[in-house]
Amino acid sequence: MTTDLGSVLRRILDEVSKVVVGKADIKELLLVTLMSRGHLLIEGYPGTAKTTVARVFSQAIGGEFKRIQFTPDMLPADVTGFYMYLPDGSSRFISGPVFANVLLADELNRATPRTQAALVEAMQESQVTIEGITHQLPFPSMVVASQLPYGGAGTYPLTEVQSDRFLLRAWSAYPPQEDEQTIIDSIDRIETVRVEAVTEPQEILELQEAVRAIHVSPKVDEYIVSLVRSVRENPDVLAGPSPRASIALHKASRALAFLEGRDYVIPDDVKKLFLPALEHRMRAKPEAEMEGVTPWNIIEKVLKETPVPKQLEATE
Protein backbone atom coordinates (compact mmCIF):
# COMPACT_ATOMS: atom_id res chain seq x y z
CA MET A 1 0.00 0.00 0.00
CA THR A 2 1.56 3.27 -1.08
CA THR A 3 -0.76 5.68 0.69
CA ASP A 4 -3.22 5.82 3.54
CA LEU A 5 -6.28 4.65 1.68
CA GLY A 6 -8.69 6.02 4.29
CA SER A 7 -7.38 9.50 3.54
CA VAL A 8 -8.07 8.99 -0.17
CA LEU A 9 -11.74 8.49 0.66
CA ARG A 10 -11.85 11.54 2.89
CA ARG A 11 -10.17 13.64 0.22
CA ILE A 12 -12.77 12.59 -2.36
CA LEU A 13 -15.65 13.35 0.02
CA ASP A 14 -14.22 16.77 0.93
CA GLU A 15 -13.70 17.66 -2.71
CA VAL A 16 -17.24 16.62 -3.71
CA SER A 17 -18.64 18.55 -0.75
CA LYS A 18 -17.05 21.76 -2.07
CA VAL A 19 -19.93 21.76 -4.55
CA VAL A 20 -22.62 19.35 -3.41
CA VAL A 21 -24.56 20.38 -0.31
CA GLY A 22 -25.85 17.47 1.81
CA LYS A 23 -26.65 14.27 -0.13
CA ALA A 24 -24.50 12.25 2.27
CA ASP A 25 -26.28 9.07 1.19
CA ILE A 26 -25.45 9.52 -2.51
CA LYS A 27 -21.85 10.47 -1.77
CA GLU A 28 -21.51 7.30 0.28
CA LEU A 29 -23.11 5.11 -2.40
CA LEU A 30 -20.79 6.58 -5.05
CA LEU A 31 -17.76 5.62 -2.96
CA VAL A 32 -19.14 2.18 -2.11
CA THR A 33 -19.83 1.51 -5.78
CA LEU A 34 -16.39 2.68 -6.85
CA MET A 35 -14.68 0.54 -4.21
CA SER A 36 -16.75 -2.50 -5.26
CA ARG A 37 -15.91 -2.07 -8.96
CA GLY A 38 -19.59 -1.56 -9.69
CA HIS A 39 -21.82 0.90 -11.52
CA LEU A 40 -24.35 3.26 -9.95
CA LEU A 41 -27.80 4.27 -11.13
CA ILE A 42 -29.04 7.59 -9.73
CA GLU A 43 -32.75 8.28 -10.03
CA GLY A 44 -34.64 11.37 -9.01
CA TYR A 45 -36.67 14.34 -10.15
CA PRO A 46 -35.11 17.05 -12.35
CA GLY A 47 -32.99 19.63 -10.56
CA THR A 48 -31.98 17.43 -7.64
CA ALA A 49 -28.25 17.54 -8.50
CA LYS A 50 -27.99 14.11 -10.16
CA THR A 51 -25.73 15.39 -12.91
CA THR A 52 -23.83 17.70 -10.58
CA VAL A 53 -22.96 15.04 -8.00
CA ALA A 54 -21.88 12.55 -10.68
CA ARG A 55 -19.76 15.12 -12.53
CA VAL A 56 -18.05 16.44 -9.42
CA PHE A 57 -17.36 12.94 -8.13
CA SER A 58 -15.79 12.01 -11.45
CA GLN A 59 -13.60 15.08 -11.45
CA ALA A 60 -12.49 14.43 -7.87
CA ILE A 61 -11.33 10.88 -8.52
CA GLY A 62 -9.27 11.91 -11.53
CA GLY A 63 -8.49 9.65 -14.45
CA GLU A 64 -10.36 10.09 -17.66
CA PHE A 65 -13.91 11.41 -17.38
CA LYS A 66 -16.48 11.33 -20.18
CA ARG A 67 -20.11 12.19 -20.41
CA ILE A 68 -22.92 11.12 -22.70
CA GLN A 69 -26.14 13.07 -22.72
CA PHE A 70 -28.57 10.48 -24.02
CA THR A 71 -31.20 11.34 -26.60
CA PRO A 72 -33.41 9.07 -28.69
CA ASP A 73 -31.26 9.53 -31.81
CA MET A 74 -28.10 8.22 -30.17
CA LEU A 75 -26.66 5.10 -31.79
CA PRO A 76 -24.70 2.26 -30.19
CA ALA A 77 -21.58 3.51 -32.03
CA ASP A 78 -21.95 6.86 -30.23
CA VAL A 79 -21.33 4.92 -27.02
CA THR A 80 -18.83 2.25 -27.95
CA GLY A 81 -16.94 3.72 -30.92
CA PHE A 82 -16.47 2.64 -34.53
CA TYR A 83 -13.94 1.88 -37.24
CA MET A 84 -13.01 4.63 -39.60
CA TYR A 85 -11.89 3.39 -43.00
CA LEU A 86 -9.07 5.31 -44.62
CA PRO A 87 -8.56 5.79 -48.37
CA ASP A 88 -5.56 3.42 -48.36
CA GLY A 89 -7.84 0.58 -47.22
CA SER A 90 -6.62 0.51 -43.63
CA SER A 91 -8.90 1.24 -40.70
CA ARG A 92 -8.60 2.97 -37.38
CA PHE A 93 -10.64 2.41 -34.23
CA ILE A 94 -12.23 5.59 -32.91
CA SER A 95 -13.07 4.75 -29.32
CA GLY A 96 -16.38 5.92 -27.89
CA PRO A 97 -16.99 7.61 -24.53
CA VAL A 98 -17.43 4.27 -22.78
CA PHE A 99 -13.61 4.08 -22.76
CA ALA A 100 -13.24 6.20 -19.64
CA ASN A 101 -12.37 5.75 -15.99
CA VAL A 102 -15.69 7.34 -15.14
CA LEU A 103 -18.54 7.68 -17.60
CA LEU A 104 -21.52 9.83 -16.75
CA ALA A 105 -24.43 8.30 -18.65
CA ASP A 106 -26.90 11.13 -18.25
CA GLU A 107 -30.64 10.53 -18.76
CA LEU A 108 -30.08 6.92 -19.74
CA ASN A 109 -33.77 6.16 -20.22
CA ARG A 110 -33.95 8.65 -23.09
CA ALA A 111 -31.78 6.33 -25.21
CA THR A 112 -33.38 3.62 -27.32
CA PRO A 113 -33.13 0.01 -26.12
CA ARG A 114 -30.40 -0.79 -28.67
CA THR A 115 -28.17 1.99 -27.42
CA GLN A 116 -28.91 1.17 -23.78
CA ALA A 117 -27.99 -2.45 -24.52
CA ALA A 118 -24.65 -1.42 -26.04
CA LEU A 119 -23.74 0.50 -22.89
CA VAL A 120 -24.93 -2.18 -20.49
CA GLU A 121 -23.06 -4.90 -22.38
CA ALA A 122 -19.83 -2.92 -22.23
CA MET A 123 -20.34 -2.30 -18.49
CA GLN A 124 -20.95 -5.93 -17.79
CA GLU A 125 -18.07 -7.34 -19.79
CA SER A 126 -15.55 -4.51 -19.30
CA GLN A 127 -14.95 -4.75 -23.02
CA VAL A 128 -16.42 -3.83 -26.37
CA THR A 129 -16.44 -5.99 -29.47
CA ILE A 130 -16.77 -4.20 -32.80
CA GLU A 131 -16.44 -5.91 -36.15
CA GLY A 132 -15.10 -8.98 -34.40
CA ILE A 133 -12.31 -7.16 -32.57
CA THR A 134 -12.41 -6.88 -28.80
CA HIS A 135 -11.24 -3.77 -26.97
CA GLN A 136 -10.72 -3.78 -23.19
CA LEU A 137 -12.12 -0.89 -21.17
CA PRO A 138 -9.58 0.84 -18.92
CA PHE A 139 -9.23 0.05 -15.20
CA PRO A 140 -10.94 1.32 -13.21
CA SER A 141 -14.02 2.03 -15.30
CA MET A 142 -17.22 3.03 -13.59
CA VAL A 143 -20.52 4.13 -15.05
CA VAL A 144 -22.70 6.57 -13.16
CA ALA A 145 -26.06 6.72 -14.90
CA SER A 146 -28.84 9.17 -14.13
CA GLN A 147 -32.47 9.03 -15.08
CA LEU A 148 -35.92 10.29 -14.20
CA PRO A 149 -37.92 7.86 -12.09
CA TYR A 150 -40.99 7.91 -14.30
CA GLY A 151 -41.38 7.13 -17.99
CA GLY A 152 -43.05 9.92 -19.90
CA ALA A 153 -42.92 10.83 -23.55
CA GLY A 154 -39.73 9.84 -25.33
CA THR A 155 -38.33 7.57 -22.64
CA TYR A 156 -37.54 3.87 -22.74
CA PRO A 157 -37.46 2.29 -19.28
CA LEU A 158 -34.53 -0.04 -18.68
CA THR A 159 -35.45 -3.72 -18.70
CA GLU A 160 -34.93 -5.69 -15.50
CA VAL A 161 -31.98 -7.45 -17.09
CA GLN A 162 -30.36 -4.09 -17.71
CA SER A 163 -30.98 -2.51 -14.32
CA ASP A 164 -29.69 -5.72 -12.70
CA ARG A 165 -26.23 -4.74 -14.03
CA PHE A 166 -26.11 -1.73 -11.74
CA LEU A 167 -24.58 -2.66 -8.39
CA LEU A 168 -26.69 -0.10 -6.54
CA ARG A 169 -29.37 2.44 -7.17
CA ALA A 170 -29.47 5.77 -5.36
CA TRP A 171 -32.48 8.02 -4.88
CA SER A 172 -31.82 11.71 -5.37
CA ALA A 173 -34.30 13.41 -3.05
CA TYR A 174 -35.34 17.04 -2.83
CA PRO A 175 -33.10 18.81 -0.31
CA PRO A 176 -34.30 19.48 3.25
CA GLN A 177 -35.17 23.13 4.02
CA GLU A 178 -31.79 23.94 5.57
CA ASP A 179 -29.79 22.44 2.69
CA GLU A 180 -31.87 24.27 0.09
CA GLN A 181 -31.15 27.55 1.86
CA THR A 182 -27.44 26.73 1.86
CA ILE A 183 -27.61 25.89 -1.86
CA ILE A 184 -29.16 29.20 -2.88
CA ASP A 185 -26.96 31.13 -0.49
CA SER A 186 -23.77 29.61 -1.94
CA ILE A 187 -24.88 29.27 -5.55
CA ASP A 188 -22.21 31.67 -6.89
CA ARG A 189 -19.47 29.57 -5.31
CA ILE A 190 -21.17 26.30 -6.39
CA GLU A 191 -21.24 27.49 -9.97
CA THR A 192 -17.64 28.66 -10.14
CA VAL A 193 -15.53 26.55 -7.78
CA ARG A 194 -12.85 24.41 -9.41
CA VAL A 195 -12.94 20.75 -8.51
CA GLU A 196 -9.50 19.14 -8.44
CA ALA A 197 -8.55 15.51 -8.94
CA VAL A 198 -7.51 14.39 -5.46
CA THR A 199 -6.56 10.82 -6.29
CA GLU A 200 -5.51 8.77 -9.30
CA PRO A 201 -6.51 5.47 -10.91
CA GLN A 202 -3.67 3.56 -9.21
CA GLU A 203 -4.99 4.49 -5.75
CA ILE A 204 -8.49 3.45 -6.76
CA LEU A 205 -7.18 0.06 -7.81
CA GLU A 206 -5.45 -0.29 -4.43
CA LEU A 207 -8.70 0.65 -2.68
CA GLN A 208 -10.59 -1.99 -4.63
CA GLU A 209 -7.93 -4.53 -3.71
CA ALA A 210 -8.12 -3.64 -0.01
CA VAL A 211 -11.91 -3.96 -0.01
CA ARG A 212 -11.69 -7.50 -1.33
CA ALA A 213 -9.79 -8.44 1.84
CA ILE A 214 -12.63 -7.36 4.17
CA HIS A 215 -13.98 -10.33 6.10
CA VAL A 216 -17.57 -11.48 5.60
CA SER A 217 -18.47 -14.22 8.06
CA PRO A 218 -20.61 -17.18 6.92
CA LYS A 219 -23.34 -15.91 9.26
CA VAL A 220 -23.44 -12.55 7.48
CA ASP A 221 -23.65 -14.31 4.13
CA GLU A 222 -26.48 -16.41 5.54
CA TYR A 223 -28.25 -13.20 6.52
CA ILE A 224 -27.74 -11.69 3.04
CA VAL A 225 -29.14 -14.73 1.27
CA SER A 226 -32.09 -15.03 3.69
CA LEU A 227 -33.02 -11.41 3.00
CA VAL A 228 -32.81 -11.78 -0.77
CA ARG A 229 -34.72 -15.07 -0.75
CA SER A 230 -37.50 -13.56 1.39
CA VAL A 231 -38.00 -10.85 -1.23
CA ARG A 232 -37.91 -13.41 -4.05
CA GLU A 233 -40.52 -15.58 -2.33
CA ASN A 234 -42.81 -12.72 -1.32
CA PRO A 235 -46.24 -13.35 -2.92
CA ASP A 236 -46.49 -9.73 -4.12
CA VAL A 237 -43.27 -9.97 -6.15
CA LEU A 238 -43.48 -10.49 -9.90
CA ALA A 239 -39.85 -10.45 -10.97
CA GLY A 240 -37.64 -11.27 -8.02
CA PRO A 241 -34.01 -10.38 -7.41
CA SER A 242 -31.45 -12.79 -8.86
CA PRO A 243 -28.26 -14.00 -7.15
CA ARG A 244 -26.72 -10.82 -8.61
CA ALA A 245 -28.59 -9.01 -5.84
CA SER A 246 -26.95 -11.20 -3.17
CA ILE A 247 -23.55 -10.72 -4.79
CA ALA A 248 -24.09 -6.96 -4.92
CA LEU A 249 -25.04 -6.89 -1.25
CA HIS A 250 -21.99 -8.95 -0.30
CA LYS A 251 -19.59 -6.73 -2.26
CA ALA A 252 -21.15 -3.42 -1.28
CA SER A 253 -21.24 -4.38 2.40
CA ARG A 254 -17.49 -5.02 2.33
CA ALA A 255 -16.93 -1.56 0.88
CA LEU A 256 -19.17 0.10 3.46
CA ALA A 257 -17.34 -1.72 6.27
CA PHE A 258 -14.05 -0.43 4.87
CA LEU A 259 -15.45 3.07 4.59
CA GLU A 260 -16.42 2.93 8.26
CA GLY A 261 -12.97 1.74 9.28
CA ARG A 262 -13.75 -1.92 10.00
CA ASP A 263 -12.12 -4.99 8.45
CA TYR A 264 -15.27 -7.09 8.85
CA VAL A 265 -18.92 -6.68 7.82
CA ILE A 266 -21.68 -6.31 10.43
CA PRO A 267 -25.44 -6.80 9.87
CA ASP A 268 -25.97 -3.03 9.94
CA ASP A 269 -23.88 -2.69 6.76
CA VAL A 270 -26.18 -5.17 5.05
CA LYS A 271 -29.32 -3.47 6.38
CA LYS A 272 -28.18 -0.07 5.19
CA LEU A 273 -27.49 -1.32 1.66
CA PHE A 274 -30.48 -3.59 1.27
CA LEU A 275 -32.73 -0.98 -0.34
CA PRO A 276 -30.09 0.43 -2.76
CA ALA A 277 -29.08 -3.11 -3.77
CA LEU A 278 -32.60 -4.48 -4.27
CA GLU A 279 -35.11 -1.86 -5.29
CA HIS A 280 -34.11 -1.59 -8.96
CA ARG A 281 -33.94 -5.37 -9.43
CA MET A 282 -37.54 -6.23 -8.66
CA ARG A 283 -41.13 -5.50 -9.55
CA ALA A 284 -44.38 -5.92 -7.69
CA LYS A 285 -47.23 -7.85 -9.33
CA PRO A 286 -49.68 -5.54 -11.15
CA GLU A 287 -52.49 -6.52 -8.79
CA ALA A 288 -50.31 -5.66 -5.78
CA GLU A 289 -49.27 -2.40 -7.46
CA MET A 290 -52.95 -1.52 -7.87
CA GLU A 291 -53.28 -1.79 -4.11
CA GLY A 292 -50.35 0.56 -3.65
CA VAL A 293 -47.68 -2.05 -2.90
CA THR A 294 -44.22 -0.91 -4.09
CA PRO A 295 -40.83 -2.65 -4.05
CA TRP A 296 -39.96 -0.26 -1.23
CA ASN A 297 -42.84 -1.59 0.92
CA ILE A 298 -41.80 -5.18 0.30
CA ILE A 299 -38.15 -4.47 1.11
CA GLU A 300 -39.05 -2.66 4.37
CA LYS A 301 -41.29 -5.53 5.42
CA VAL A 302 -38.64 -8.17 4.69
CA LEU A 303 -36.02 -6.18 6.60
CA LYS A 304 -38.29 -6.01 9.61
CA GLU A 305 -39.28 -9.66 9.52
CA THR A 306 -36.00 -11.40 8.70
CA PRO A 307 -34.11 -12.23 11.89
CA VAL A 308 -30.39 -11.50 12.16
CA PRO A 309 -28.66 -14.88 12.67
CA LYS A 310 -28.29 -15.56 16.40
CA GLN A 311 -24.48 -15.66 16.75
CA LEU A 312 -24.24 -12.28 15.05
CA GLU A 313 -26.68 -10.59 17.36
CA ALA A 314 -24.49 -11.47 20.32
CA THR A 315 -21.43 -9.74 18.86
CA GLU A 316 -23.23 -6.55 17.91
For binding to ligand ADP (CB under 6 A), which residues are involved? Answer: 19-23, 44, 46-52, 146, 172, 175, 179, 183, 190
- Given ligand ADP, Mg ion, none, residue 109, with its beta carbon under 5 to 8 Å by kind, binds none
Q: Which is nearer to ligand ADP, 2 or 192 (CB)?
A: 192
What's the closest the beta carbon of residue 39 comes to ligand ADP, in angstroms? 17
What's the closest the beta carbon of residue 25 comes to Mg ion, in angstroms? 18
What b-and-e string marks burial along 266-289, b requiring 16 or more CB atoms within 10 Å of the CB?
Answer: bbebbebbbbbbbbbbbbbeeebe
Q: Which is nearer to ligand ADP, 52 or 141 (CB)?
A: 52
- Given Mg ion, ligand ADP, none, residue 22, with its beta carbon under 5 to 8 Å by kind, binds ligand ADP
What's the closest the beta carbon of residue 40 comes to ligand ADP, in angstroms? 14
Q: Which is nearer to Mg ion, 70 or 274 (CB)?
A: 70
Q: How far apart are CA 122 and CA 199, in angstroms?
A: 25
- Given Mg ion, ligand ADP, none, residue 20, with its beta carbon under 5 to 8 Å by kind, binds ligand ADP
Would you count residue 147 as binding Mg ion (CB under 5 A)? no
- Given ligand ADP, Mg ion, none, residue 52, with its beta carbon under 5 to 8 Å by kind, binds ligand ADP
What's the closest the beta carbon of residue 148 comes to ligand ADP, in angstroms? 9
Which residues within the stretch 15-54 sit at the binding site for Mg ion (CB under 5 A)?
Answer: 51
Q: Which is nearer to ligand ADP, 59 or 172 (CB)?
A: 172
Q: Which is nearer to Mg ion, 51 or 162 (CB)?
A: 51
What's the closest the beta carbon of residue 193 comes to Mg ion, in angstroms? 19
- Given ligand ADP, Mg ion, none, residue 152, with its beta carbon under 5 to 8 Å by kind, binds none
Binding region for Mg ion (CB under 5 A): 51
